[in-house]
Amino acid sequence: MSFLVVFKLLGSLALLMFGMKTMSEALQKMAGPQLRHVLGAMTTNRFTGVLTGMTVTASVQSSTATTVMTVSFVNAGLLTLAQAISVIMGANIGTTLTAWIMSAGMSFDVTNAVYPAFFLGIILIYLKKYRYIGDFLFGISFLLLGLGTLRATGMEMHLGENQAVLDFFASFDPTAFSTTIIFLLLGGVLTFCVQSSAAVMAITMILCSSGALPIYQGIALVMGENIGTTITSNLAALSANTQARRAALSHMFFNLFGVFWVLFVFRPFIDFVCGLVGYDVEMTKDSVSVEAFMENAAKLSFVLAAFHTCFNVANTLILIWFIPQIERFVCWVIKPKKVDEEEDFRLHFITAGFMKTPELSVLEAQKEIQSFSDRMQRMFAMVRELLILSSSSTGKKKNNQTEEFTKLFTRIEKYESISDNMELEIANYLDQVSDAHLSDETKAKIRAMLREISELESIGDSCYNMARTISRKYQGKEDHFNDLQYQRLHQMMELTDNSLTLMNQLMSGRKEAFDINRTLNTENEINNYRSQLKQQNIIDVNNHEYTYAVGTIYMDLVNECEKLADYVVNVVEARMATRLREA
C-alpha cells in the first residue's frame, strides 16, 4: 500500500509538471508573436519594463520565455541591458501567478471540474482552428488534476499524524537561524535537482497544509526555490553570449539580494503575510479542536503563494531604483569573451539552454541568420579588396604585396568554411525546434528560414569562387585586366554590394526596407549591366583589346556577381514572405 501511495505522489507530480509545460506552450502559441511586439514597444523605462515583464510572464506562464525574448531584444539592440533587468524583475512577479493557481488547487477539490474541460478541450483540438485553446485547456486540466491527486494523496498519507515525519521536523529548532538556512539550502537543492520550482512548491504546500511542516520552515523552502531556479538558468547560459549570461546573473542577483534582506526581517515579514491571509501563527493542535486546526492549516497554501508574491513585489520596489548599479555590477563580473568574431564560427544568439520555449526560439534563430547575413557582406567586401590588391600589382610583384594578397585570400577561405558551419549549425537548431509542437505560422517561418540560410551559404560560395578566380589571375602568367575592365568590375561589384546592403536592411527588421521592389530593381540593373558587359567583351576580344583568356576570367567575375545577386533576391523573397505573415 505504501508503494502505491509513493507512486501516486510521483505520478501526480509528473502530471503537474506536464500540465504546466503544456499550458505554457499553448499560451505561447496563442500569444507569442503579439507578446514579442508588446515587449519591444512597452519597455520605454524601468517602470514600464517591470509592468511588461509581469504581464508577459503572467500571459505565457513562463519566466524562461520572457527571459528568452528579453535577451533577444538586447542582442538586437532594441533593449538596453538596464531595460532587460527591469523586465526580468517584472517576470519574477508575473511567475507568482502559478503559485496562486496551485494554492487554489490545493485548497479545493477541483478534480471533478477538470473532466468537462478535458471533453471540451478534445473537441477544440479536433476543430483545428481552436486547437491551441484546446491545448491550453488540456494543460491546465492536467495541472489541476495533478494538484487534486497530490492533495488527495497527501491527505491519504496523514502526514500531520505521522509521528516519524513530525519527529523529523521537530528535530529542527524552529527559532534557530541555522534551521532557516538549512531549509533554504534544501529548497535550492531540490529545485535544482527536480528542475521545476512548481513541483517543489507543490510538495511544500502538501507538507504545510497537512500540518507536518511549520510555516517558517515552509517559507524557507520557498526562498530556496527562488535561488534554485536561477542556478538552472545560469548554468544554461554558460555557453551563451555575453548579454545572455549577464541577464541570467542579474536574475540570480535579484533573488539572492531578496533572500538576504528577508533573512533579517524573517519572522516579522512572515507574520505580516500571515495576517494578510488570515492565518493564525500561534494556533497549535492542542489548543483548539482538530477541525479548527485543519481549517487554519488549509490556509497555508495561500500563505505560501502570498509570501511568494510579497517577496518579489517588495524586492522589486527596493531594487528598481538601483538598476544602473546592477547593470554595472553584472558587466563588471562578466566581461565580453575575447574572441575574434571574424574567425569565430560559433553561434552567438541561439543556445541549447533556451530550447524550453520552442515557439520563441525562432526569434533567436532570426538574430543568428541576421548575423550570418552581415558576415556574408563582410566577405564580399574582402573580395572587392582582393581585386584592388590584384590591380595594384604592375610588373614584378613585391614580396610584401604578395604576402598581403595571400593573407587576405586565406581569410576569405576561412569565411567560406565559417558560412558552411553556420548553415549546418542553424539548420540543426531549427530541426530541433521543429520537433516540438508548433503553430502553423511558426512552421512556415522555419521553412522560410531554412531557405534563407541555404541561399546565404550560396552567397558565401559565390564570394569564394570570385576570390579563387582573382587568385588564379594574380598567380598566373596572363596579362592584367586593363583599366577599363577594372573600372567596369568595380562598378558591377558596387551594384552587387548595394543589393547586399538592401538585404541586410530587411534582415535587421527596418521598416523602410520592406519594399521588395528596391531589391528587384537593383537585380534588374545588375542583369542588364551583365548583358552589356558580355556584348562589350566579345567586341573587345575581337578588337584585340585583350586576350580571350583574360576575357574569360573577366566574364567569370561578372557572371558570379550576377549569380550572387540572384541569391540575394531569394533571401529577400523568403524573408518578405515571413514579414507578410506577421503583418
| pLDDT single digits (tens) 191-211 | 777 766 777 777 787 777 776
pLDDT for 270:
87
| pLDDT single digits (tens) 401-453 | 788 888 899 999 888 888 888 888 888 888 877 766 676 777 888 889 999 99
Q: Of 206, 220, 213, which Cα lies nearest the Cα of 259?
A: 220
290-294, 314-318, 538-542, range with the lowest pLDDT: 290-294
Q: What is the band of 395 on the pLDDT scale with cuts at 50, 70, 90?
A: very low
Angle 189-193-194 (CA atoms, 0-180°, nearest 5)? 115
Contact 474, 405 (CB under 8 A): yes
Distance, CA of 33 to CA of 323 (rounded, Å): 28
Residues 6+ apart with CB under 8 A from 368: 347, 348, 349, 350, 422, 426, 429
17-31, 320-334, 542-556, range with the lowest pLDDT: 17-31
Q: Any idea how long the chain is?
A: 583
Distance, CA of 329 to CA of 315 (rounded, Å): 18
225-229, 250-254, 359-363, range with the lowest pLDDT: 359-363
pLDDT cut 70: percent of the chain above it: 76
| pLDDT single digits (tens) 263-287 | 888 888 888 888 888 877 776 666 6
pLDDT for 555:
93
Which of the pair, 353 or 533, is modelled with greater confidence? 533
Distance, CA of 326 to CA of 252 (rounded, Å): 11
Distance, CA of 478 to CA of 556 (rounded, Å): 15
Distance, CA of 156 to CA of 150 (rounded, Å): 10
Q: What is the band of 117 on the pLDDT scale with cuts at 50, 70, 90?
A: confident
Neighbour count for residue 183 (Cβ, 10 Å): 24
pLDDT cut 90: percent of the chain above it: 16
Instruction: Characterize 57-84 residue by residue with b for buried, 16 or more Cβ atoms within 10 angstroms of its Cβ, and e for exposed.
Output: bbbbbbbbbbbbbbbbbbbbeebebbbb
Contact 578, 445 (CB under 8 A): yes
Distance, CA of 38 to CA of 56 (rounded, Å): 8
| pLDDT single digits (tens) 470-490 | 988 887 766 678 889 899 999
Give me the phi and psi of 382, to 5 degrees please. Answer: -70, -35
Half-sphere CA count of 382, side-chain side, radius 13 A:
28
3-state secondary structure 308-375: HHHHHHHHHHHHHHHHHHHHHHHHHHCCCCCCCHHHCCCCCCCCHHHCCCHHHHHHHHHHHHHHHHHH
Domains of the chain: 2-333 (no CATH), 352-582 (1.20.58.220)
pLDDT for 71:
66
3-state secondary structure 502-568: HHHHHHCCCHHHCCHHHHHHHHHHHHHHHHHHHHHHHHHHHCCCCCHHHHHHHHHHHHHHHHHHHHH
Contact 278, 217 (CB under 8 A): no
Question: C-alpha grid cell for residue 175?
Answer: 527559532
Q: What is the band of 354 on the pLDDT scale with cuts at 50, 70, 90?
A: very low
Distance, CA of 245 to CA of 236 (rounded, Å): 9
The overall average pLDDT reported for the chain is 79
pLDDT for 155:
66
What is the reported pTM?
0.63
Distance, CA of 536 to CA of 540 (rounded, Å): 6
| pLDDT single digits (tens) 85-96 | 888 888 888 878
| For range 453-463, the mean pLDDT | 94
Q: How far is CA 544 from the centre of its chain?
A: 61
- Indicate if the alpha-carbon torsion angle 285, 289, 293, 294 is positive or negative: positive
Q: What is the band of 529 on the pLDDT scale with cuts at 50, 70, 90?
A: very high
| For range 354-366, the mean pLDDT | 64
DSSP designation for 239? G
pLDDT for 44:
62
| For range 502-518, the mean pLDDT | 75
| For range 157-164, the mean pLDDT | 62
pLDDT for 77:
57
pLDDT for 428:
85
Which of the pair, 66 or 40, is modelled with greater confidence? 66
